[in-house]
Chain A
Amino acid sequence: MKTIIGLEIHCQLDTDTKLFCGCSTDYRSDPPNTHTCPICLGLPGSMPRLNIKAVKYALRVAKALNLKVNEYCEFSRKNYFYPDLPKGYQITQYDKPIAEWGHLMIEGDDGVERKIRITRIHIEEDPGRLVHKTGRDRAGYSLVDYNRSSIPLIEIVTEPDLRSPKEARRFLNKLRATLEYLQVFDGEKEGSIRVDANISMEGHNRVECKNISSYKGVEKALTFELTRQRNLIRRGVEITRETRHFMEARGITTSSRSKEEENDYRYFPEPDLEPLRIAGWVDEVSLPELPDARRERFIEQYGISLNHARTLTGDIRLANFYEAVAAVSDPVLSATWVADTLLGELNYRGMGITVVQPQILSEIITLLKEDRITDKSAVEVMRAILDGIVEGRDFESPSAFVERLGLVKESGSDLLAIVSGVATANPVAVADYHAGKKGALNFLMGQVMKETRGRADPKQINEKLRELLG
């Protein structure tokens, strides 16, 4: 049974001021209602003023996603009542959006690149934020903070071209990367992206899932929905066409009883704003190198694998980090150590790449290349430094760390001495080795590794043992 998924994504544009007023968008660490003015509070008599940067950012997105910018576009009012919507309407774009009909390429589940069509993008304002007291303080009222009111959003709507929750997640990651490459979006800011997903099994009703605010959340929500819908269909129950609410903490969707569907938004053109005629501006938009192009360049310029290139270009900060490392260190080695090892260690600690200095990795790779430490030691160094960052300890360079802990590689005569020692201490294993028993060599190697505390290169240990034992 084919799965059909479409997404509606809202991303906050990274402008300095709000969409319709000059209030600063840097509100996240400030007290409530300190980034407001008559306009974003919706005071009577206030009038919106369109931020040109938001429009330019939207044009960049339109061009990068291969959309056609409309000759004429305008803003509309979406009328509904909610405590976080100060004017009782949201200024958005309805039937005349800024751009339509484009696409984004993603890797399909089968590994083949696929085109996901984008129906349209448009600009709109964010409402305010509701806070509810919980637990013992639970109250029957809402607390409203209008700092977020009128933050610029770009809404991106896809055709139902996605075929699985994993694909949806991959699409989102690619979209986020693209928007960050365009420098119009900062995915690290809390709440900067919100997703509504539509999912149906072919031949059955469509369900809308709202309130998804993370990339993981999308996959979770859709996976849950997929299972729920499949189970119902198997039992012969028809899927109710409805809107469901995603509860991130429990990983489930619940029936929303939402008035959204019954709501008649009574759209009409915003009379306080003039229309836009900006199709001609697209030619002047110069795009930076985008993820796909950068990926191809990494493969060509650094001679790394497609998989590594894909991973490394999947996030602009990571891509920049890699290039800083590869500028001074062996690019292929750098790719392996950044993509395969560092990334894993960062994820495990919930850290982002930006807290790590590229020099750290360059140094580690140098130590490796000079054969001064083993792979195992390199991992130990990396982990120790990352832990140091997490715990806020004073910074210690990889070389200093290696010196301090005596991790310098054992090789040559030192190693020979240790190998001899191990052989002497384990006559049974040596005898087994001579008798042709398979596990004996590994056992002896293991003993040497223990002695050297991972400071010896397994290849060298193997060589020395064979040399010694014959």
Chain B
Amino acid sequence: MPVAVKDNISTSGIQTTCASRILEGYVPPFDAHVISLLKKEGAAIVGKTNMDEFGMGTSTEHSAYGPTLNPHDKERVPGGSSGGSAAAVASGMVPMALGSDTGGSIRCPASFCGIVGLKPTYGRVSRYGLIAYSNSLEQIGPMARTVREVSELMSVISSYDPHDSTSFDRPFEHEPVEDITGVRVGVPEEFFGEGVDHGVADSVSEALSVLESLGAKTVSCSLPGMQYALATYYVMCTSEASSNLSRFDGVRYGPKVDTKRQWHEEFRDERGGLFGREVQQRIMLGTFALSAGYYGKYYAKARAAKEQIKNDFLRLFKEVDIIAGPTMPTTAFRIGEKSDPLSMYKSDILTVPANLAGVPAISVPCGKSGRMPVGLQLMGRHFEDERVIDVAYAYEQEVAR
């Protein structure tokens, strides 16, 4: 079983860089838990894939080693931050790959490249060995061309890991089931707001009709927390990242520092020179959000907002079993098109809620718009990844017929 692995997952003896200059040459002396599991299963790790530096991006344009191109159209981005993994699968280089998803980093490239990508329930897959970007939001997840393969890979990598104090003991062992009769599918009106491409909206609406034809019931609903979801996400992830990335000082790993210079001087230059612009900006934002006098206005509020959004989901899940909508507001954009950070951030609007709530979310291809793939996003209750897989499987199988 050949598997490609995103380069922010530690592989013992194999260079792991997070697509950053500051980790150039770093060879971890240990395997991430998921890698140990893959090896036990007899999988062959064929390579480490490109990504946005430290997972910070939605396009894989922010890699220190150059952008990855979308196999469907080489002038467009493959999505991010797991763009390398998605492109590798979509182009047929590998059947399966591991990605990581902090705010949509598995689902976005899956959607843009026309493959399947699952972000598991938070805590279902061990994060031990995943080079942290935003600890309370991210998960490693499977990416493949079919739902069945995603399901298979998921069953290998999900298991309790005592090394990860945030992991749950809820292993995934599931045979995808096609029958979705009676499944209630909620469709939040906020997911079809302005900013969502017409072509994308049409493809997704069609997909929802298919689900109905299979016996599911769709119902309109609302996720009020959507208005502040993006701000919540960016405050939380930049705050945690600003702390997580403090360890890169060139002393224990990374390009050598000049030990003859003064600590702070050398440190500042090292980080200023070796971190990419996007990473620097997010570290600065996070530092600011946590700083004295601002903690209450930003981080504390974001924590509360995250809880509100989770409660929004819990409330909705009393009425429905699945929440559906487009994965991304558009199809893959051109390389260099979204140069303004804020407009790039806004692409994440539909994917971040699942990370904030911790619920499982899958992107499955649902047709094309202007020749580029569109993704259907399905979210489920905590620990109901199996049902999410089933609905995606049912849709995929029906469309294939």
Contacts and interface: CB of A to CB of B under 8 A. Distances in A.
A268 B252 contact: no
Given A77-B243, A141-B259, A266-B290, A47 B128 contact: yes
A86 B254 CA distance: 13
A88 B16 CA distance: 20
Contacts of A31: none
Interface residues of A, number: 31
B28 A43 contact: yes
Interface residues of B, number: 46
Interface in A59-87: 77, 79, 81-83, 86-87
Contacts of A43: 28-30, 252-253
Greatest chain A CB density within 10 A among B10, B26, B246, B290 is at B246
Interface string B242-278: 1101111101110000011001100100000000000
A49 B162 contact: yes
Interface in B125-140: 127-132, 135-136
B287 interface: yes
Contacts of A44: 10, 16, 18, 23, 26, 28, 131-132, 247-248, 253
Interface stretch (B83-91, B198-206, B291-299, B385-393): B291-299
A274 to B, nearest CB: 6
A42 B260 contact: no
A144 B246 contact: no
Given A43-B253, A45-B131, A86 B247 contact: yes
B243 A266 contact: yes
Interface stretch (B62-70, B163-171, B224-232): B163-171
B77 interface: no
Nearest to A272: B135
A266 B291 contact: yes
Interface in B269-313: 287, 290-292, 295, 299
Contact of A271 (B9, B136, B162): B136
A47 B138 CA distance: 14
B25 to A, nearest CB: 13
Given A38-B30, A45-B129, A274-B165, A268 B243 contact: yes
Interface of A: 38, 41-50, 77, 79, 81-83, 86-89, 140-141, 144, 264, 266-268, 271-274
Top 6 A-B pairs, shortest CB-CB distance: A88-B246, A266-B290, A271-B135, A141-B259, A44-B131, A271-B136
27 contacts: A43-B28, A44-B18, A44-B28, A45-B9, A45-B129, A46-B128, A47-B164, A48-B165, A77-B243, A81-B246, A81-B249, A81-B263, A81-B264, A83-B263, A87-B246, A88-B247, A140-B259, A141-B260, A264-B292, A266-B243, A266-B291, A266-B295, A268-B290, A271-B240, A272-B135, A272-B164, A273-B165
